[in-house]
Amino acid sequence: MSRRTQIWILVVLVGVLAAVYLANRTQMPGLQGVLASDSKFQPLNVDEPQLRLDLLAKLQKLEYSGTHRNIFSAVALPVALTPAEIAKANRRYPGVDRPPPPPPVEVPAQFFGYASMPSSPRRLAFFLNGDDVIVVQEGSVFLNRFRLDKIGNDSADVEEISSGRHATVQMVQPPPGEAAPQPPSQ
Protein backbone atom coordinates (compact mmCIF):
# COMPACT_ATOMS: atom_id res chain seq x y z
CA MET A 1 0.00 0.00 0.00
CA SER A 2 1.19 3.42 -0.79
CA ARG A 3 1.58 6.22 1.62
CA ARG A 4 -1.25 8.19 0.05
CA THR A 5 -3.66 5.27 0.49
CA GLN A 6 -2.78 4.93 4.16
CA ILE A 7 -3.49 8.62 4.78
CA TRP A 8 -6.94 8.34 3.08
CA ILE A 9 -7.87 5.29 5.15
CA LEU A 10 -6.86 7.16 8.32
CA VAL A 11 -8.98 10.20 7.41
CA VAL A 12 -12.03 7.97 6.69
CA LEU A 13 -11.63 6.15 10.04
CA VAL A 14 -11.38 9.46 11.97
CA GLY A 15 -14.56 10.65 10.19
CA VAL A 16 -16.44 7.45 11.10
CA LEU A 17 -15.29 7.75 14.71
CA ALA A 18 -16.53 11.35 14.91
CA ALA A 19 -19.92 10.40 13.45
CA VAL A 20 -20.39 7.55 15.94
CA TYR A 21 -19.47 9.83 18.84
CA LEU A 22 -21.89 12.59 17.82
CA ALA A 23 -24.71 10.11 17.30
CA ASN A 24 -24.35 8.48 20.73
CA ARG A 25 -23.41 11.40 22.95
CA THR A 26 -26.93 12.02 24.31
CA GLN A 27 -27.32 8.34 25.22
CA MET A 28 -24.32 8.25 27.63
CA PRO A 29 -25.45 6.95 31.10
CA GLY A 30 -23.19 9.29 33.13
CA LEU A 31 -24.64 12.49 31.70
CA GLN A 32 -28.27 11.50 32.39
CA GLY A 33 -27.53 11.16 36.14
CA VAL A 34 -25.86 14.57 36.29
CA LEU A 35 -28.70 16.30 34.47
CA ALA A 36 -31.28 14.61 36.70
CA SER A 37 -29.51 15.63 39.96
CA ASP A 38 -29.43 19.31 38.90
CA SER A 39 -33.21 19.35 38.61
CA LYS A 40 -33.63 18.02 42.19
CA PHE A 41 -31.54 20.79 43.86
CA GLN A 42 -33.42 22.75 46.55
CA PRO A 43 -31.71 25.68 48.40
CA LEU A 44 -31.90 25.84 52.21
CA ASN A 45 -34.82 27.76 53.62
CA VAL A 46 -33.27 30.48 55.83
CA ASP A 47 -35.71 33.19 56.81
CA GLU A 48 -33.27 35.98 57.75
CA PRO A 49 -29.63 35.19 57.03
CA GLN A 50 -27.81 37.64 59.36
CA LEU A 51 -24.47 37.63 61.10
CA ARG A 52 -24.89 36.92 64.86
CA LEU A 53 -23.02 39.89 66.32
CA ASP A 54 -24.00 38.99 69.89
CA LEU A 55 -22.12 35.67 69.64
CA LEU A 56 -19.08 37.39 68.11
CA ALA A 57 -18.98 39.97 70.94
CA LYS A 58 -19.17 37.18 73.51
CA LEU A 59 -16.20 35.40 71.86
CA GLN A 60 -14.15 38.59 71.75
CA LYS A 61 -14.52 39.08 75.51
CA LEU A 62 -13.07 35.64 76.31
CA GLU A 63 -9.41 35.40 77.33
CA TYR A 64 -7.24 32.33 76.97
CA SER A 65 -6.20 31.08 80.39
CA GLY A 66 -4.16 28.03 79.35
CA THR A 67 -0.40 27.75 78.97
CA HIS A 68 1.10 29.84 76.21
CA ARG A 69 3.15 27.07 74.64
CA ASN A 70 5.08 27.27 71.39
CA ILE A 71 3.26 24.78 69.16
CA PHE A 72 6.32 24.42 66.94
CA SER A 73 8.56 23.18 69.76
CA ALA A 74 8.50 19.58 71.02
CA VAL A 75 9.91 20.64 74.41
CA ALA A 76 7.26 21.24 77.04
CA LEU A 77 7.32 24.32 79.27
CA PRO A 78 8.62 23.85 82.82
CA VAL A 79 5.92 23.25 85.37
CA ALA A 80 5.28 26.27 87.59
CA LEU A 81 5.61 25.37 91.27
CA THR A 82 3.11 26.58 93.81
CA PRO A 83 4.37 28.52 96.85
CA ALA A 84 3.67 25.47 99.04
CA GLU A 85 5.83 23.25 96.81
CA ILE A 86 8.65 25.81 96.85
CA ALA A 87 8.52 26.03 100.66
CA LYS A 88 8.59 22.23 100.90
CA ALA A 89 11.62 22.01 98.60
CA ASN A 90 13.52 24.66 100.59
CA ARG A 91 12.73 23.15 103.98
CA ARG A 92 15.78 21.94 105.86
CA TYR A 93 15.44 18.63 107.62
CA PRO A 94 16.91 18.49 111.15
CA GLY A 95 19.95 16.25 111.49
CA VAL A 96 20.53 16.05 107.73
CA ASP A 97 23.27 18.44 106.66
CA ARG A 98 25.30 18.59 103.54
CA PRO A 99 28.88 17.44 103.97
CA PRO A 100 31.35 20.30 104.31
CA PRO A 101 33.52 21.08 101.31
CA PRO A 102 36.95 19.45 101.34
CA PRO A 103 39.67 21.50 103.01
CA PRO A 104 42.00 23.46 100.72
CA VAL A 105 45.15 21.72 99.54
CA GLU A 106 48.01 22.30 102.01
CA VAL A 107 51.52 21.96 100.57
CA PRO A 108 53.96 21.29 103.45
CA ALA A 109 56.77 23.15 101.70
CA GLN A 110 57.55 26.82 101.06
CA PHE A 111 58.21 28.11 97.56
CA PHE A 112 61.19 30.46 97.78
CA GLY A 113 62.51 30.82 94.23
CA TYR A 114 62.90 29.56 90.69
CA ALA A 115 65.49 29.36 87.95
CA SER A 116 65.36 29.08 84.19
CA MET A 117 67.46 26.57 82.34
CA PRO A 118 69.09 27.92 79.17
CA SER A 119 68.86 24.56 77.39
CA SER A 120 65.14 24.02 78.07
CA PRO A 121 62.06 26.27 78.21
CA ARG A 122 61.07 24.66 81.51
CA ARG A 123 61.82 26.27 84.84
CA LEU A 124 63.07 24.82 88.12
CA ALA A 125 61.33 25.66 91.41
CA PHE A 126 62.97 25.64 94.85
CA PHE A 127 60.89 24.48 97.80
CA LEU A 128 61.96 24.45 101.45
CA ASN A 129 60.66 21.51 103.52
CA GLY A 130 62.03 21.97 107.04
CA ASP A 131 65.78 22.22 106.46
CA ASP A 132 65.70 20.38 103.14
CA VAL A 133 65.74 22.21 99.83
CA ILE A 134 63.77 20.46 97.08
CA VAL A 135 64.49 21.30 93.43
CA VAL A 136 61.50 20.47 91.16
CA GLN A 137 61.13 20.83 87.40
CA GLU A 138 57.71 21.77 85.88
CA GLY A 139 55.63 18.63 85.44
CA SER A 140 57.58 16.63 88.05
CA VAL A 141 56.30 15.03 91.26
CA PHE A 142 57.66 16.08 94.65
CA LEU A 143 57.02 14.90 98.21
CA ASN A 144 55.41 11.79 96.62
CA ARG A 145 51.98 13.41 96.36
CA PHE A 146 52.23 16.77 94.57
CA ARG A 147 52.87 17.65 90.91
CA LEU A 148 54.30 21.03 89.96
CA ASP A 149 52.13 22.26 87.07
CA LYS A 150 53.41 25.76 86.35
CA ILE A 151 55.90 28.19 87.81
CA GLY A 152 54.94 31.86 87.73
CA ASN A 153 56.96 34.94 88.67
CA ASP A 154 55.69 35.00 92.27
CA SER A 155 53.74 31.72 92.69
CA ALA A 156 53.68 28.07 91.72
CA ASP A 157 50.61 26.04 90.70
CA VAL A 158 50.60 22.63 92.38
CA GLU A 159 48.21 19.67 91.92
CA GLU A 160 47.53 17.08 94.61
CA ILE A 161 47.82 13.79 92.69
CA SER A 162 45.40 11.71 94.78
CA SER A 163 42.43 14.12 94.55
CA GLY A 164 43.24 16.18 91.44
CA ARG A 165 42.70 19.42 93.38
CA HIS A 166 44.90 22.41 92.64
CA ALA A 167 46.56 24.95 94.89
CA THR A 168 48.65 28.06 94.33
CA VAL A 169 51.72 28.39 96.55
CA GLN A 170 52.92 31.99 96.90
CA MET A 171 56.64 32.75 96.92
CA VAL A 172 57.95 33.45 100.44
CA GLN A 173 60.71 36.03 100.89
CA PRO A 174 63.23 35.40 103.65
CA PRO A 175 62.95 37.75 106.62
CA PRO A 176 65.41 40.68 106.58
CA GLY A 177 68.80 39.86 108.07
CA GLU A 178 68.53 36.16 107.23
CA ALA A 179 70.26 34.62 104.28
CA ALA A 180 68.09 32.72 101.82
CA PRO A 181 68.66 28.97 101.76
CA GLN A 182 71.04 27.98 99.02
CA PRO A 183 69.98 25.33 96.55
CA PRO A 184 72.29 22.35 96.40
CA SER A 185 75.03 22.62 93.83
CA GLN A 186 75.03 20.01 91.16
Over the stretch 76-114, which tens digit does the pLDDT of each residue have?
777 788 888 888 877 766 666 778 888 888 999 999 999
Instruction: Give the pLDDT confidence score for residue 36 in this predicted structure.
Output: 54
Lowest pLDDT segment from 17-31, 71-85, 130-144: 17-31
Task: Supply the pLDDT for residue 29.
Answer: 57
How far does Cα 7 stand from its chain's mean position? 75
Confidence of residue 13 (pLDDT cuts 50, 70, 90): very high
Looking at per-residue pLDDT, the higher value among 135 and 36 belongs to: 135
CA 44 to chain centre: 58
Q: Dihedral of the CA atoms 125, 129, 133, 136 (nearest 10)?
A: -30
Question: Do residues 66 and 77 make contact, with C-beta atoms less than 8 angstroms apart?
Answer: no
pTM of the model: 0.44
Average pLDDT over residues 162-177: 85
Q: How many CB atoms lie within 10 A of CB 126?
A: 23
| pLDDT recorded at residue 8 | 94
pLDDT at 35 over 70: no
pLDDT at residue 37, rounded to an integer: 58
Q: At 181, is the pLDDT very low, low, confident or very high (cuts 50, 70, 90)?
A: low
Question: Is the model's pLDDT at 24 over the cut of 90?
Answer: no
Could you give the residue ranges of the DSSP H alpha helices within the chain? 3-24, 29-39, 53-61, 83-90
Residue 120 confidence (pLDDT): 78
117/75: higher pLDDT: 75
Q: What is the pLDDT of residue 184?
A: 62
Per-residue pLDDT, 79: 78
Q: How far is CA 64 from the centre of its chain?
A: 31
